[in-house]
């Protein structure tokens, strides 16, 4: 079996490539350096005709972290459209031109749902039937890719999509808060640092373990019929809880080392979680680790020394500012 994986150099692409290779599959990985440009319809068509893959995983994406430097919106919109949306059309058209037997998976995002603007602080649960209300360039272009999958399914193509909620691993770029936290914990434990600065302790997400999510991608393409599937844990955690678990696992008190700096955030998103019931019922998928287990796995990858029984950490303490100094109450 031969699979094409776009975004092969990213977190999910790397993990998926390793998983497929371990199963004995041949993987043709496409990254930023080639071998083709996924935004070129001609190059995509030529590769699909040459390789004749049994499966195609579209993981390449233009994404921007909430704590990253502001990007030029016009350029970001253009690049996001080409990569997040048009690669679906290019690969789907190429597959149909070759007979339509190849199965396609599109890595969509929970950002297609937006957030609860009526009650911003309320945790909102989304499943596959939720309305698409994207509130960012990334969300808009991912929603367009999802709609493209629906259109190609109507034409007979096996085009499935995974609506992926946040999923983390040691391969996450350091500007993402999960990697930022565990990296800081390891550095503080070694004595190389003393402080971690985050944008918003009350921000949070439905965080899962990335290896579980790429496994879900393969299960979706094993089904008899294509569809859309939310991939999520269904549980919301805040950045404060992330810090509490991570520092406690390393035998540290997060309140002594974490400082909140709201100016770090370039945008905020209301709390959302995913309902992966359809995925569980049709494929039997379940996460292999819970939230604390994921945090410990990330810490191990950073080289942190973990204690066996950290106990139940508390994330109730909130930062207070008095007299120009910052501490934790």
Residue 49 tokens read as 């005709």
CATH code of 2-173+207-235+272-288, in short, is: 3.40.50.720
Q: What is the pLDDT of residues 257-288, one digit of tens each?
A: 999 998 877 667 789 999 999 999 999 999 99
Mean pLDDT along residues 212-232: 99
Q: How far apart are CA 47 and CA 240, in angstroms?
A: 46
Dihedral (Cα; 222, 277, 167, 299), 10-degree rounding: -110
Dihedral sign, Cα of residue 152, residue 156, residue 157, residue 159: positive
Cα 170 from Cα 13, distance rounded (Å): 13
Q: What stretches of the chain show up as alpha helix (H) in DSSP?
A: 11-22, 41-51, 73-80, 86-97, 137-154, 177-190, 210-222, 239-249, 277-283, 291-301
Give buried/exposed letters for 257-290 (b at 16+ CB in 10 A, else e).
bbebeeeebeeebbbbbbbbeebeeebebebeee
Q: Percentage of the chain with pLDDT > 70?
A: 89
- Work out the average pLDDT over 149-170: 98
Q: Is the pLDDT of residue 243 over 70?
A: yes
Is a pLDDT exceeding 50 seen at residue 328? Answer: no
- The predicted pLDDT at position 262 comes to 85
Number of Cβ atoms within 10 Å of the Cβ of 148: 19
Residue 101: other Cβ atoms inside 10 A: 12
pTM of the predicted model, to two decimals?
0.90
Q: Which residue has the tokens 């400082």?
A: 259
Q: Is the dihedral of CA 205, 183, 325, 256 positive or negative?
A: positive
CA–CA dist 222, 168 (Å, integer): 24
pLDDT reported for residue 324:
29
Query: β-strand 124-126 against 167-168: which pairing, if any?
Result: unpaired
The predicted pLDDT at position 309 comes to 66
Indicate if the pLDDT at residue 329 is higher than 80.
no
Please state the domain extents for the chain. 2-173+207-235+272-288
Q: What is each CA distance from 183 to 74, 176, 193, 290, 307, in whole angstroms?
A: 33, 11, 10, 20, 17
How much is the CA Rg of the chain, to the nearest whole Å? 21
pLDDT above 60 (res 318) = no
Please give the residue that has the higher pLDDT: either 147 or 34. Answer: 147
Please report the pLDDT score of residue 313 as a whole number: 64
pLDDT for position 326:
28
Whole-angstrom CA distances from 71 to 178, 266, 320 are: 21, 10, 31
Structure tokens at 257: 């080392």
Q: What is the pLDDT of residue 80?
A: 95
Average pLDDT, the chain: 91
The whole-number average pLDDT for the span 212-233 is 99
250's CB contacts (< 8 A; 6+ apart) are 185, 186, 188, 189, 299, 304, 305, 306, 307
Cis peptide before 35 (omega within 30 of 0): yes
Q: Please give the span between the terminal C-alpha atoms of the chain, in angstroms, as a whole number.
A: 57
Q: What is the mean pLDDT of residues 289-307?
A: 97
* pLDDT digit string, tens, across residues 15-59: 999 999 999 999 999 999 989 999 999 999 999 999 999 999 999
Q: Residue 219 burial by CB count (10 A; 0-12/13-18/19+): exposed, middle or buried?
A: middle
Average pLDDT on 58-78 reads 77
């Amino acid at each position: 079996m031969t699979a094409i994986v776009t975004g092969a150099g990213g977190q999910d692409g790397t993990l998926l490539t390793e998983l497929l290779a371990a199963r004995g599959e041949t993987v043709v990985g496409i990254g930023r350096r080639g071998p083709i440009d996924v935004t070129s319809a001609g190059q995509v068509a030529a590769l699909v005709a040459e390789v004749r893959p049994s499966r195609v995983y579209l993981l390449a994406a233009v994404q921007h972290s909430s704590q990253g430097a502001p990007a030029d919106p016009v350029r970001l919109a253009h690049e996001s459209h080409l990569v997040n949306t048009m690669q679906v059309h290019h690969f789907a058209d190429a597959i149909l031109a070759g007979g339509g037997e190849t199965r396609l998976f599109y890595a969509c995002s929970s950002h297609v749902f937006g957030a609860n603007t009526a009650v911003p602080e309320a945790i909102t649960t989304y499943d596959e039937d939720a309305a698409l209300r994207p509130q960012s360039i990334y969300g808009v272009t991912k929603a367009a890719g999802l709609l493209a999958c629906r259109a190609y399914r109507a034409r007979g193509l096996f085009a499935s999509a995974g609506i992926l909620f946040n999923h983390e691993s040691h391969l996450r770029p350091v500007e993402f808060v999960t990697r930022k936290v565990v990296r800081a914990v390891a550095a503080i434990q070694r004595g190389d640092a003393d402080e971690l600065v985050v944008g918003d302790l009350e921000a949070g997400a439905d965080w899962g373990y990335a290896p579980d999510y790429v496994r879900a991608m393969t299960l979706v393409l094993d089904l008899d019929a294509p569809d859309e599937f939310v991939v999520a844990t269904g549980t919301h955690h805040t950045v404060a809880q992330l810090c509490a678990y991570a520092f406690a696992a390393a035998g540290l008190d997060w309140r002594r080392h974490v400082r909140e700096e709201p100016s770090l955030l370039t945008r905020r998103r209301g709390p959302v979680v995913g309902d992966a019931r359809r995925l569980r019922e049709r494929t039997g998928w379940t996460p292999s680790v819970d939230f604390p287990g994921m945090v410990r796995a990330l810490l191990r990858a950073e080289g942190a020394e973990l204690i066996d029984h950290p106990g139940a950490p508390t994330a109730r303490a909130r930062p207070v500012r008095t007299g120009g100094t910052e501490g934790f109450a």
